Amino acid sequence: MMAVRLQEIRAKVFDIRHTFESAQPLTFYAYYDYADRVLTYPSSKGLVTAVFNGSSGNCRIVAHSSGTLSAKEEITSRFRLRDDMKKIYRRISTDKFVRAAIKEYYGMRLTRNDPWETTMCFIVSQLNNVKRITMIMHNIINVLGSPIMDDTGVMAGRGFPNCESLANATEKKLMACGAGFRAKYLVQAAEFCTNNIELDKLKCRSYGKIKEQLMEIPGIGDKVADCIALMGYGKLEAFPIDVWIKRTLENMYFNGKPKKIEELHEFAEERFGDLAGYAEQYIYVYGRHMRP
């Protein structure tokens, strides 16, 4: 039997609970044990398990993974641990609302995820709530995901289904997973990506070009394209706007006056610049917390 390869990571300004609960892809398909602070999730290359210790100011992470995947590099990349959060906070702290959001959710980080996983998650997220999104994603992984074997040859879980697996699935099978009307868009998106676009090859393109091409995929509009650009491609200038963000911005910055989506994008770009995505995540989570 091969020994489990444990790797230790030190991170400053990182809170796993705030990050996990912030409606990012890992919120939808990872498992988090709140009592023991253990996160488990399938990556494209294996199964990752990480134990989090310490405070949001100084976190110690002990991680391991199946196969040849480096848990240390996976965790460091996934949670953007190379980002200088204190510098980011200084840049986006333009007003008391954002400062209050940072104080409340100190250590929450954006995640960097596989573009296809991100695409699938946010198609499922449309007109949906986190509990149901999580149920649907777990069902899809269990039905369509490939087995992940541990170092002893025992199945440790199932991986995230790739584009081809979903393209070959039927709407009926996805409906049985709970996807509802989204089943059609999942199949159409998978077929489109299989035949017309290689998502990984978009990584070197600009935010604007990535968003433009993503919106060619069936079922993807402005908000979902921005979510994918931000969390799938790491384009921090992306600023996803859903109904709740729109309402929060209008109430906090425009005295409740209705604004067009284009106007709100311009506002975010002018106010937060190339870190608009980080500002959006704090505004979104804090605004959601403030809802009656």
Contact between 65 and 74 (Cβ < 8 Å): yes
Each residue's pLDDT expressed in tens, for the chain with a length of 292 residues: 344 578 899 999 999 999 999 999 999 999 999 999 999 998 767 889 999 999 988 999 999 887 666 889 999 999 999 999 999 999 999 999 999 999 999 999 999 999 999 999 999 999 999 999 999 999 999 999 989 877 777 787 898 999 999 999 999 999 999 999 999 999 999 999 999 999 999 999 999 999 999 999 999 999 999 999 999 999 999 999 999 999 999 999 999 999 999 999 999 999 999 999 999 999 999 998 876 4
- Cα separation, 286 vs 209, in Å, equals 30
- Cα separation, 166 vs 120, in Å, equals 10
Handedness of CA 97, 103, 105, 111 (dihedral sign): positive
- Cα separation, 216 vs 123, in Å, equals 14
Here the tokens at position 240 are 């996803």
Q: What pLDDT does residue 54 have?
A: 92
Could you tell me which residues come within 8 angstroms of residue 113 by beta carbon, excluding any fewer than 6 positions away? 24, 25, 26, 78, 231, 232
Q: Nearest 10 degrees: CA dihedral of 243, 244, 250, 252?
A: -170
- Cα separation, 7 vs 3, in Å, equals 12
Here the tokens at position 265 are 């994008």
Distance from the first to the final alpha carbon of the chain: 54
- Cα separation, 196 vs 261, in Å, equals 29
pTM of the model: 0.94
DSSP designation for 199: G
